[in-house]
Structure 1
């Protein structure tokens, strides 16, 4: 099932870029990010309360809180920079650079999480990086 979720994530990430580029025209990128974030907060908490997951808040440890907050800060900074980039550049050029985070994630998952590289992940990561540079080549 995780593969379906990953494909849906990719689809909605692509739509995010296109819809944001249309919606950000003439709007400060930080304001646009704040509006987007507000929508995400309402949607996320709506789902949490609808499915009853809010009862799990008490079970969160200090470790959970620390890393979820750090992840949230990283996400917020990513969105702020992403919106600034698409406000100033072409989505078709910004998106590949943004998606090069896949290669960075592979490296960090190896260093921080101890996940192993396979020949497939090395090749895929290399192709992603090569594709990013190819997209940027004028």
Structure 2
């Protein structure tokens, strides 16, 4: 099972992770009233519901790009990314969205889950992310 949630935040590590102090609430619902240049935090949660471990898991997420799937603006990867060592060398780089955000090959224990957090910056115009 895979869950993808998002929340508006201020592009800092302290607000990327949910806590009682920063009031960040992740949601599966589409965000509304997103302003150009604002950060969107993503939380992706793969859950292994099997009784055997998964030893070759790769999380891959394509960022929004103007003109693709009715998107009017592009989003780019933004700092911070939580547990950046989990991400592949050919993953999207900060300020870019030319390739997906993706992890290295990882394992998920039986009946367990992993959580991935990263930020994107919502584009300013149709042609200028």
Range of TM-score over shorter length: under 0.3
State the TM-score, normalizing by the size of structure 1.
Answer: 0.26
The structure with the largest alpha-carbon Rg is 1
The alignment's TM-score, normalised by the length of structure 2, stands at 0.28
Higher relative contact order (CA 8 A, sep 6+): 2
